A = this chain, B = another copy of it.
Amino acid sequence: MPPTMKPTPSSSGLEARTRFRVQVKHAVAIGPGKADVLQSIAETGSIAEAGRRLGMSYQRVWSLVAAMNSDFIEPLVQTQRGGTAGGGAELTAVGTQALAIYRAIEREAERAVARRLPQLLALIRPDAGAAPE
C-alpha cells in the first residue's frame, strides 16, 4: 500500500480513503503518485529502486520525474549518470520542499475529512463494495 493511502478505520469496520491532487490546467502537477515517486527516490536514492518499490516501470518513474522537473521552477530530482547501476538520484532542495508541503497539505485535508467522515460512513452498509461493479 503506497504511503498516501491511509485507511481510516470506522466504528462499523469499514475503511475509508482520501486522496487529493493539485491539478494545474489539465495536468496533475503533483498528486499521490508523483508524491510517492519523490518520497521513494528520497528514501532509496535510485529511480530503479523507487520503481520497484512502487510497482512502476523505470520508464514510468522517469517520465513522472521529467514532468515534475519541467513543471516546477527548478528540477525536483537530480540524477547522476554513470556508476554500476546507472548512477543515483536524489531530491534537490526544491524537491524536498515540494514533497514536505505536499504531505503537509495532505495531512490537513485528511484531518478535515476525518472530522465529518463518520457521518457519511454511518450511511454506508458494512458490506458495501463487496460486489463487483
Question: A98-B123, A124-B29 given as contacts; is B15 within 8 A of A129 (CB)?
Answer: no
The CA-CA distance from A120 to B29 in the complex, in Å, is 10
| Interface residues of chain A: helix, strand, loop or mixed (majority) | mixed
Sample of 19 further A-B pairs with CB below 8 A, known A22-B121, A29-B129: A14-B24, A15-B24, A17-B22, A18-B21, A18-B22, A20-B109, A22-B120, A24-B129, A25-B128, A30-B120, A67-B133, A70-B125, A71-B124, A73-B123, A97-B123, A98-B120, A101-B119, A101-B120, A109-B109
Determine, out of A39-47, A50-58, A82-90, A110-118, the stretch whose residues face the partner at the interface.
Answer: A110-118
Report the count of interface residues on A (CB-CB < 8 A): 48
